[in-house]
Structure 1
Amino acid sequence: METFMINLVNRLRVTQFLLTIIITTLLYSPTWPFSAAAASTTTQLELLKGFKATPDPSTTPFQALLQDSSNNFAFGFLRTNETLLTVAVIHLPSYEPLWVANPTRFAQWSDTTQLSFNGSLVLSDPRSKVFWSTGTQGDRVVLLNSSNLQIIQSLGGESATQSALWQSFDFPTNTLVENQNLTDKMALVSSNGKYSMRLGEDFWGLYAAFRQGSDKNYYKHTAMEVKAQIVKGKGPIYAQINSDGYLGMYQLGTRPPVDILPFTSFQRRVNGLLRLRLEPDGNLKGYYWDGSNWVLNYQAISEPCELPSPCGSYGFCKPGSGCSCLDNRTDFNSGQCFRGVSAGDFCGDDVTEKNFWVLRREGVELPYKELMSYKTTSSLEQCESLCERSCSCWGAVYSNGSGFCYTLDYPIQTLLSVGDQSKMGYFKVRISPRRHRVGVLFRAMIGVLTGIVAVLVGFIGFVVYKKWMKRRGQKRFLEEGTGGASPGPYKDLGSASFRSLEMCSR
């Protein structure tokens, strides 16, 4: 009996232990069934061939798939506009995107969208096919502590070396992080696609895409060449953020830098990450991470009115006073000074239709005129004539003091407000297509009505003329029958007097 009780107690203990394991497993295990695809959606330190992942509908705004060893950066699905996604590298403490795979084409945040790696990273959908691909034949994907995403190929041999076939640092979007090179083959592009940062032979510049096919340079920083000279033919220059707190320009294969542009943290070591971003307003700004916030470290343009278009099309910016509209009548608070303004030019339009009107304004200046070409004219009228005769010209700004005439070959952007009334502007304002069609239809209706009235007037005149001619003919006939005398009163041929006259004549 005693042995039976001992065995029973032992069995109860084993049963209790098994129940504990089962309950713990049910409480802390994932609710989805285990599979290779499901397991791959967890954050990893590398992605191997065969990796596949789909976005989790409950995740917002970022779903991490790969992270670096320091846990500062992650690569994964980035949600945008609630229903769309792309793949991106983010700074984990701030969730700030540092690199985006394809900022111009997005996939749907749905279980049909898939990121896979089979030598090449591919973002695809069975219905829309491939959204983005690296086009490589690598062995694995890693994310470095610098935030650089790389596809690695292992090389055979005793040394077992590795080579980076592809890296995100070669395809920057709107951000440059420290120790990342920006070469003359690359560009930073703002998230709205309107502005870009590019390198020249001895400078870097900011450009605005005001007109398709032609970018306007609105900011330029030329290398000072204090510590080193640029040698022609030795190679192009590149830019890099140095950990000491400056943006340097270098010529390939040479040190020290040919230019140093200091940030506010220059020679003051900061522990957080340094980055440079081209903002949606066209300004270039530098930041550093202080452990809890991004601190402004540098900005290329400090005065808001000096930005390429702070008040939008046909805006008027006065330092310290904000924005208004060039026509001085439209309320800027409506959000748009003129509706129907489009890109392009007037070269494809019928100039006889006059589908634009002219706006003139005194006290105006271009915010970046030192980077624009000009012609010297003797008068405002001559300057205006240059623009009026050119179908590619949208406007002109003239200085009466210098005679400089700046013509604008792109849709009018924000102008500066200045106190000098001798600086005058001439601007073409395109009539909206709808309004233009209404005007054309109205003129056509007026033409038709005018034609109808002319026909009616002609017909009435013809009828009146016919009646007048008929009456005139009757009158002439009567005058000819009486020898030209008046026919007088009617005579009764049967009267006695008429018979007496007849007898006498016999």
Structure 2
Amino acid sequence: MHLSYLFFLHFIILNYCPFITSVTYSSTNVLTQGSSISVESQDHLVSPNGLFTVGFHQIGQNAYFFAIWFSERMADGSHTFVWMANRDELVNGKRSKFCLSKSGNLVLTDAGNRIWMSNTKSTFSLQLQLLDSGNLVLKELGKNTYIWESFSFPTNTILPNQLFTKDTILVSSRSLTNFSSGFYSFYFDNDNIIRIVYNSDEITSVYWPKPWLLTLQAGRSPFNNSRYAFLDSLGRFISTDNYTFATSDNGLALQRRMTLDVDGNVRVYTLKNRKWIVSSQTISKPCLIHGSCGQNSLCTYSLNSERRCTCLHGYEAKNHSDISFGCKPTFDLNGDREKYDFLRLPYTEFYGFDSLYMEGVTFKVCKEACLNDTSCKAFQYTFNQVIMTFKCYLKTLLFNGHTVDTPFTTYIKLPKNNVSAFNLKATNQSELNCSSSIIKLERTYVGKSENGSLKFILWFSIILGVTEATCFVFFYYITRQSSIATTQSYLAIATGFRRFTYDEIIKVSNNFIHEIGRGGSAVVYKGILPDGRLVAIKRLHEASQGEAEFLAEMSTIGRINHKNLIETYGYCAERKHRILVYEYMENGSLAHNLRAKKLDWQMRFDIAIGAAKGLAYLHEECLEWVLHCDVKPHNILLDDDYNPKVADFGLSKLFHQGVIDNSIFSRIRGTRGYMAPEWVYNLPITSKVDVYSYGIVVLEMITGRDPTWDQGSNDNKRVDQKTLVSWVREKVDEPGKNLTNAQILDILDPTMKDEYEDNQMKTLLKVALQCVEENKDVRPTMSEVVKILLNLEMDY
């Protein structure tokens, strides 16, 4: 069986890289079609000027990535990387290859498994070349146009004259030794401004340029459509949003690089004497960078000691080896308010997350407001000299704590015993802070010739203590893992919902071979579970959520069960992978069936009822309130009997029942043509946005026209969703009055003119037009829609 496996593995690799030859490129910069670079042979491509090298580089024990680096070693013996193909998924030190296939595709394999591809192809002869600029390019022989280039897919670094565009993004590394994707991104935003954002499992926050400044106040200009920037050979950075700077050593230099560092700062480095010297940095005060120390911690900075992170009193580090994960409380704030007091932190400020702001109130009023609010973790109280009044801010989250020069004071909420312990600790430290008065005393009972038995007892006690501590740690780890496994097993037994490993997903999907759908945020593949069930495997693009947020939403999705909602079998959240596994629907989406003209009138009417039932359940019957935010025919799937099931309902937004907070919608959600006016006019977002989208879907089923259909106007412009609604209203005149057959036939899908049921048609049209009212308060709820349609159905 082992030999068969090796033969099969060899066969797969040959298919990806036919006629692979093992060649040494120590003196060349070109890889030809059908050739490969293997991790064992340590082959490399070198740029003609010798400045850059590309190949496999070891980063850990039996862990390699395919990367480009500066050929010269630094003074400490390390290499400096400028690009990585597989930063988030390392490969083994055996049977891993990088090849240029006969079809023109660049493929990185890990023992036969595809890890990374360029997704290129060409019928012409190709070659892969490493240029003097550090750009790895794939081009046709005899031509200077590139089919693919590494400069278009940077990791955390751009090199001189490398174009940074609206389609590129820099992502920091996780740490100085962990090169996987970190928390910070440098990118062109939709308003044409370059920004830096912090994005962790719990918080997403733009911090540069300063978010409280208007664009022009920050010295930026949004009035450009090209969106590009670059660092030139002289050390000048130029951007179309007017952000420019020059390095301190501007002028011709041998080697420079611009890097988004692990601490969220963008720096330009110049190489001098085999050391990288900072010649420019974007943010001069590192403690103003969001997330630099995580939640519930305090960042301090000095030129001598650099940045330092410490947990607030009453909190402890979540991860003792990495303070960027922040700190967690050692107490509970849900108790009686009489148990709590406040610890004063002068000249200390925390960014954002103000649940309440008050002006002109006394310190006592501010303090009482925080004591009465269980979600309040601290309050800030300060005097504003401009408006000559006191200001009070209640904080629900202690994020980005740092010291300030202004008399700004924060009072953190702690149990009284924690506050008294801190005051006692501070007193003791102040009393002992006199090193000149400390006298070292000799222990008179320890003689020059120590007793052998005493020595043995001492060493025995140390060994026994170490052994007990090791056993305790091992027992804690085992029981904790067992507890996690037990929880997962219970969830799987209770709901049929489980967590898959990425290796299981690979097997179920047959290595993502059979693609059945693709969208802006994910690709969907067909797969089969070990028990024979067909499944759809939705592979989300680069994780837009952290694991904690994703798992929280999965726990809710696993408890949702309705016949008109797609059944989710499980999920995968491993490293950067975010994958959903749900039931496979043989008849595809409503959009596909409408285009194919496969649905008769009764099918469409039943689909309208079923979709309404599913949305009503999400809005009113779930344990959590779920807004879909993207209701459209593509997200309504049909089973063998054409019963509708609403899909993609779990990853939009979840709320606790009765809680509405429009501020958590950081961006417009949905698809153009189906979006309610609330999104455009920045009005409060409620379940009525889904009602509006549902109304558009129903109009689409009735008319056979999508929201952006071209009605053949003289200027040949496509019409938007409002024109579709207006067009229908014009055709039916006054919806409250009886419609004539001529009016109905004028708007009806031509394929149904001889088969629709008159009363159903009129009622469904009336409901659809009510759903797409501009005023959300006039629209019915989804449960009211269901009631109207079901009452009509009962009459037949």
Q: TM-score range by the shorter chain?
A: 0.5 to 0.7
Structure 2 Cα separation of the partners of residues 338 and 247 of structure 1 = 29
Report SS of the residue matched to 1:169: helix
Residue in structure 1 matched with residue 131 of structure 2 by the alignment? 144
Amino acid of the residue matched to residue 53 of structure 2? Answer: A
Give the drift of 1:67. Answer: 1.7
Structure 2 Cα separation of the partners of residues 248 and 48 of structure 1 = 36
Q: Kindly indicate whether structure 1 or structure 2 has the higher relative contact order, using CA contacts under 8 Å at least 6 residues apart.
A: 1
Is 1:416 aligned with 2:402? yes
Could you say if the C-alpha distance between residues 360 and 108 of structure 1 is closer, same or farther in structure 2, counting changes exceeding 3 Å? Answer: farther
Report SS of the residue matched to 2:151: helix
Residue in structure 1 matched with residue 498 of structure 2 by the alignment? none
Residue in structure 2 matched with residue 275 of structure 1 by the alignment? 257
Residue in structure 2 matched with residue 53 of structure 1 by the alignment? 37
Structure 1 Cα separation of the partners of residues 362 and 216 of structure 2 = 41
Report SS of the residue matched to 2:252: coil
Residue in structure 2 matched with residue 124 of structure 1 by the alignment? 109
Give the drift of 1:146. Answer: 0.9
Report SS of the residue matched to 2:383: coil
Report SS of the residue matched to 2:147: strand
Amino acid of the residue matched to residue 131 of structure 1? Answer: I
Structure 2 Cα separation of the partners of residues 246 and 303 of structure 1 = 22
Give the drift of 1:165. Answer: 1.3
Does the 8 A contact of 1:364 with 1:415 survive in 2?
no
Alignment of 1:15-94 (within 5 A): 37-40=21-24, 42=26, 44-56=28-40, 63-94=42-73
Report SS of the residue matched to 1:194: strand
Give the drift of 1:297. Answer: 0.5
Residue in structure 2 matched with residue 208 of structure 1 by the alignment? 198
Could you say if the C-alpha distance between residues 319 and 181 of structure 1 is closer, same or farther in structure 2, counting changes exceeding 3 Å? Answer: same
Does the 8 A contact of 1:285 with 1:297 survive in 2?
yes
Is 1:235 aligned with 2:217? no
Could you say if the C-alpha distance between residues 288 and 164 of structure 1 is closer, same or farther in structure 2, counting changes exceeding 3 Å? Answer: same
Alignment of 1:7-406 (within 5 A): 37-40=21-24, 42=26, 44-56=28-40, 63-94=42-73, 95-110=79-94, 112-118=95-101, 119-126=104-111, 129-138=113-122, 139-154=126-141, 161-192=143-174, 193-200=182-189, 201=191, 203-212=193-202, 215-220=204-209, 230=221, 232=223, 234-250=224-240, 258-266=242-250, 269-290=251-272, 292-320=274-302, 322-327=308-313, 360-363=343-346, 365-366=348-349, 375-377=357-359, 378=361, 395=377, 397-402=379-384, 404=391
Give the drift of 1:303. Answer: 3.2
Give the drift of 1:204. Answer: 2.4
Structure 2 Cα separation of the partners of residues 211 and 384 of structure 1 = 32
Does the 8 A contact of 1:314 with 1:338 survive in 2?
no
Does the 8 A contact of 1:314 with 1:325 survive in 2?
yes
Does the 8 A contact of 1:225 with 1:259 survive in 2?
no
Does the 8 A contact of 1:364 with 1:397 survive in 2?
no
Structure 2 Cα separation of the partners of residues 335 and 231 of structure 1 = 41
Structure 1 Cα separation of the partners of residues 328 and 318 of structure 2 = 18
User: What CA deviation, in whole Å up to 9, does each residue of 1:158-215 have, x standing for no partner?
Assistant: xx64421111111111111111122233221111111111223353222212345x52
Structure 1 Cα separation of the partners of residues 334 and 328 of structure 2 = 17
Report SS of the residue matched to 2:21: helix
Structure 2 Cα separation of the partners of residues 296 and 113 of structure 1 = 36
Give the drift of 1:340. Answer: 9.4
**TM-score scaled to structure 2, two decimals?**
0.40
Per mean C-alpha deviation after superposition, the further-off stretch among 160-169 and 65-74 is 160-169
Structure 2 Cα separation of the partners of residues 338 and 100 of structure 1 = 23
User: What CA deviation, in whole Å up to 9, does each residue of 1:417-459 have, x standing for no partner?
Assistant: 3576752244699xxxx9xx99xxxxxxxxxxxxxxxxxxxxx
Could you say if the C-alpha distance between residues 383 and 37 of structure 1 is closer, same or farther in structure 2, counting changes exceeding 3 Å? Answer: farther
User: What CA deviation, in whole Å up to 9, does each residue of 1:394-427 have, x standing for no partner?
Assistant: x4552332455666676x4451235767522446
Structure 2 Cα separation of the partners of residues 428 and 153 of structure 1 = 67
Does the 8 A contact of 1:189 with 1:197 survive in 2?
yes
For the pair shown, the structure with the greater C-alpha radius of gyration is 1
Give the drift of 1:82. Answer: 2.4
Amino acid of the residue matched to residue 348 of structure 2? Answer: E
Could you say if the C-alpha distance between residues 87 and 351 of structure 1 is closer, same or farther in structure 2, counting changes exceeding 3 Å? Answer: same
Instruction: Flag structure 1 segments of 5+ consecutive residues without an equivalent.
Output: 1-34, 58-62, 155-159, 252-257, 344-348, 439-506
Instruction: Flag structure 2 segments of 5+ consecutive residues without an equivalent.
Output: 1-18, 74-78, 175-181, 385-389, 416-475, 481-796
Could you say if the C-alpha distance between residues 359 and 87 of structure 1 is closer, same or farther in structure 2, counting changes exceeding 3 Å? Answer: farther
Give the drift of 1:46. Answer: 1.1
Amino acid of the residue matched to residue 96 of structure 2? Answer: T
Could you say if the C-alpha distance between residues 374 and 85 of structure 1 is closer, same or farther in structure 2, counting changes exceeding 3 Å? Answer: farther
Structure 2 Cα separation of the partners of residues 390 and 166 of structure 1 = 55
Does the 8 A contact of 1:330 with 1:337 survive in 2?
no
Structure 1 Cα separation of the partners of residues 283 and 253 of structure 2 = 26
Could you say if the C-alpha distance between residues 333 and 170 of structure 1 is closer, same or farther in structure 2, counting changes exceeding 3 Å? Answer: closer
Report SS of the residue matched to 1:305: helix
Give the drift of 1:104. Answer: 1.4
Give the drift of 1:359. Answer: 7.1
Give the drift of 1:125. Answer: 2.8
Report SS of the residue matched to 1:142: strand
Does the 8 A contact of 1:277 with 1:284 survive in 2?
yes
Structure 2 Cα separation of the partners of residues 54 and 353 of structure 1 = 65
Identity %: 21
Amino acid of the residue matched to residue 125 of structure 1? Answer: D
Could you say if the C-alpha distance between residues 292 and 208 of structure 1 is closer, same or farther in structure 2, counting changes exceeding 3 Å? Answer: same
User: What CA deviation, in whole Å up to 9, does each residue of 1:84-133 have, x standing for no partner?
Assistant: 111111111132100111221111122x2121111111111346x21111
Does the 8 A contact of 1:318 with 1:416 survive in 2?
yes
Does the 8 A contact of 1:314 with 1:337 survive in 2?
no
Structure 2 Cα separation of the partners of residues 374 and 170 of structure 1 = 45
Structure 1 Cα separation of the partners of residues 372 and 93 of structure 2 = 50
Structure 2 Cα separation of the partners of residues 353 and 130 of structure 1 = 57
Give the drift of 1:47. Answer: 0.9
Could you say if the C-alpha distance between residues 170 and 312 of structure 1 is closer, same or farther in structure 2, counting changes exceeding 3 Å? Answer: same
Q: Greater helix share, 1 or 2?
A: 2
RMSD over aligned CA atoms reads 4.6
Does the 8 A contact of 1:278 with 1:285 survive in 2?
yes
Could you say if the C-alpha distance between residues 165 and 333 of structure 1 is closer, same or farther in structure 2, counting changes exceeding 3 Å? Answer: closer
Give the drift of 1:244. Answer: 2.1
Give the drift of 1:334. Answer: 6.6
Residue in structure 2 matched with residue 28 of structure 1 by the alignment? none
Structure 2 Cα separation of the partners of residues 270 and 373 of structure 1 = 52
What is the total number of aligned residue pairs between the two structures? 365
Give the drift of 1:362. Answer: 2.6
Amino acid of the residue matched to residue 232 of structure 2? Answer: N
Does the 8 A contact of 2:354 with 2:395 survive in 1?
no
